[in-house]
């Protein structure tokens, strides 16, 4: 007998029929002899609807009160799913974050879980109840309602699995696993049977939105085996787990793209100590996250500095940088939001050479110009003109041997 934590996302509990389907799946797991804890999200669209109500009141909401509002979506889901399980003849109890208790820090809207006191869950499991827990929410040490950031139910599930020392954590969603790349962009994309925590972390931070990044960090830290599965099929899904030797043979495991960045370029920047610190210090002071950065070689005591920020931060960043540019007597500031970041990810890169060179070659063969490059131990990213996104992803997918075997017909 095993203890299993299952998490169902918004689409999986999108209406009452789907909730009945979730109930059937939980009961089947229990009938197979397992203790079952199920974490659910708000019904699809609900969190957005609640945030919209908040925005109709104010565009600068107090985050404590906003959390009070958005945490309600999950309360509806757990009650209905518990009722659906009971209606099908099994025992079920629902718990809100503070009832469990899931204790977080006080960073409203993106709180971090500090500890979980799961006695009530353990007790209910002993009584053979299926335990239904609200995702996304917790309470801080003062008893305030907190939420864990968008997609936070994934993290609730993984944290519960770690706290309860569960044998597996299964994340049910509307896709049947983690893919080599976005199947909407590349029809040859393949579902992966396994992927390492580290690769998943890179792909998640690059915009592959199957799992909340924090949930993967949590799973990696506590070595929780994490399954990504579809709630609409019986496909075994993808296992996110610790890296092993066989994974190193695959040089590139996945390709991600991100269209939500914009580039800023400052020309004629005086080449002297402290200038970069000044530019990026100002951006940091405004909480603007900078991603790729390049500085060209110095000519006549001047360099060009380019970097990317999230598209929503572009105008704020531009204002800040124009001011610094005047102060340091740089040339002009130019912006370009028509860019996309294409990244290849794989733990196998650590012991294979020439991976970046191959990526550049593939892009050049397609006539795609690379504007900025950045690399890490298991990732290479290139910034290109956004109209080339699909072409770049598909060409790289083929070149790195990721295409699924073509079927005849
Ligand atoms: N309902 C929350 C959201 O939409 C949390 C989640 O679904 O994971 O972000
Ligand atoms: Mg999600």
Cβ of 388 less than 6 Å from ligand 1: no
Q: Residue 250 — very low, low, confident or very high, per pLDDT cuts 50/70/90?
A: confident
Check the annotation: does 278 bind a ligand: no
Q: What is the mean pLDDT of the segment spanning 143-151? A: 96
335 is in an annotated binding site: no
Asked if 381 and 201 count as a contact pair (C-beta separation under 8 A), the reply is no
pLDDT on residue 207: 66
Within 311-383, residue ranges assigned H as helices are 314-327, 355-365
Per domain, the residue ranges of the chain are: 3-174, 255-399
Tell me phi and psi for residue 288, to 5 degrees: -95, 125
pLDDT value at residue 106: 96
Kindly report, residue by residue over 86-115, the tens digit of the pLDDT. 999 999 999 999 999 999 999 999 999 999
Architecture of domain 255-399: 2-Layer Sandwich (3.30)
**Residue range 342-359, pLDDT digits in tens:** 999 999 999 888 999 999
- C-alpha 115 to ligand 2 mean position (Å): 22
The pLDDT value recorded for residue 246 is 83
At residue 138, what are phi and psi to the nearest 5 degrees?
-155, -165
Q: Please, what CATH class does the domain formed by 3-174 belong to?
A: alpha beta
Q: Could you tell me which of 42, 13, 40 has the C-alpha nearest to residue 171?
A: 40
Distance between Cα 372 and ligand 1 center (Å): 33
Ligand 1, atom nearest to 48 Cα:
4
Q: Is the CB of 14 under 6 A from ligand 1?
A: no
Q: What is the number of the ligand 1 atom nearest to the C-alpha of 42?
A: 1
Burial 292-303 (b: 16+ CB within 10 A, else e): bebeeeeeeeeb
Rounded Cα distance between 242 and 69, Å, is 37
Q: Is the CB of 24 under 6 A from ligand 1?
A: no
How sure is the predictor about 302, in pLDDT bands with cuts at 50, 70 and 90? very high
Nearest CA, atom 5, ligand 1: 151
- Would you say 174 is a known binding-site residue? yes
- The verdict on the CB of residue 47 being under 6 Å from ligand 1 is yes
pTM of the model: 0.87
Of 230, 212, 222, 236, the residue nearest 172 (C-alpha): 230
Annotated binding residue 388? no
Share of the chain above pLDDT 90, in %: 88
Q: Between 197-205 and 213-222, two packed helices, what is the crossing angle to 10 degrees? A: 160
Which residue, by CA, sits nearest to atom 8 of ligand 1?
151
Taking CA atoms only, the protein residue closest to ligand 1 atom 9 is: 150
Element (H, E) at 134: strand 130-134
Q: Is the CB of 42 under 6 A from ligand 1?
A: yes
Atom of ligand 1 nearest to the CA of 10: 7
Which atom of ligand 1 has the smallest separation from the CA of 41? 7
Which pLDDT score is estimated for 210? 85
Q: Where are the beta strands (DSSP E) in 214-289?
A: 226-230, 238-241, 254-258, 261-270
The predicted structure's pLDDT at residue 285: 92
SS3 letters across 66-107: HHHHHCHHHHHHHHHHHHHHHHCCCCEEEECHHHHCEEECCC
């Amino acid at each position: 007998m095993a203890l299993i934590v299952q998490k169902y996302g918004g689409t999986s509990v999108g209406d009452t029929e789907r909730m009945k389907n979730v109930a059937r799946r939980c009961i089947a797991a229990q009938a197979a002899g397992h203790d079952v804890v199920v974490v659910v999200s708000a019904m699809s669209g609900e969190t957005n609807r609640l945030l919209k109500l908040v925005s109709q009141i104010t565009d600068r909401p107090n985050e404590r009160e906003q959390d009070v509002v958005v945490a309600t979506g999950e309360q509806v889901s757990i009650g209905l799913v518990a009722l659906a399980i009971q209606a099908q003849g099994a025992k079920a109890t629902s718990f809100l974050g503070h009832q469990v208790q899931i204790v977080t820090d006080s960073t409203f809207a993106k709180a971090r879980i500090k500890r979980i006191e799961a006695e009530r869950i353990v007790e209910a499991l002993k009584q053979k109840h299926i335990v239904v827990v609200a995702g996304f929410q917790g309470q801080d040490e003062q008893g305030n309602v907190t939420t864990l950031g968008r997609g936070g139910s994934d993290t609730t599930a993984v944290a519960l699995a770690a706290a309860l020392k569960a044998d597996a954590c299964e994340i049910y969603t509307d896709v049947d696993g983690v893919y080599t790349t976005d199947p909407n962009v590349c029809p040859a994309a393949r579902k992966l049977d396994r992927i390492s925590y580290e690769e998943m972390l890179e792909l998640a931070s690059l915009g592959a939105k199957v799992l909340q990044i924090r949930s993967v960090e949590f799973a990696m830290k506590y070595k929780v085996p994490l399954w990504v599965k579809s709630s609409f099929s019986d496909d075994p899904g993808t296992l996110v787990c610790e890296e092993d030797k066989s994974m190193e043979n695959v040089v590139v495991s996945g390709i991600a793209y991100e269209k939500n960045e914009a580039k800023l370029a400052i020309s004629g920047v005086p080449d002297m100590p402290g200038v970069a610190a000044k530019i990026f210090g100002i951006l940091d002071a405004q909480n603007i996250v900078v991603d790729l950065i390049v500085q060209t070689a110095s000519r006549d005591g001047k360099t060009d500095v380019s970097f990317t920020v999230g598209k929503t931060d572009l105008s704020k960043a531009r204002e800040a940088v124009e001011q610094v540019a005047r102060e340091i007597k740089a040339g002009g500031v130019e912006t370009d939001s028509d860019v996309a970041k294409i990244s290849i990810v794989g733990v196998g890169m650590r012991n294979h050479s020439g991976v970046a060179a191959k990526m550049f070659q593939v892009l050049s063969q397609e006539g795609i110009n690379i504007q900025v490059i950045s690399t890490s131990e298991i990732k290479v990213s290139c910034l290109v003109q956004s109209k080339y996104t699909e072409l770049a992803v598909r060409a790289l997918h083929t070149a790195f041997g990721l295409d699924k075997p073509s079927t005849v017909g």
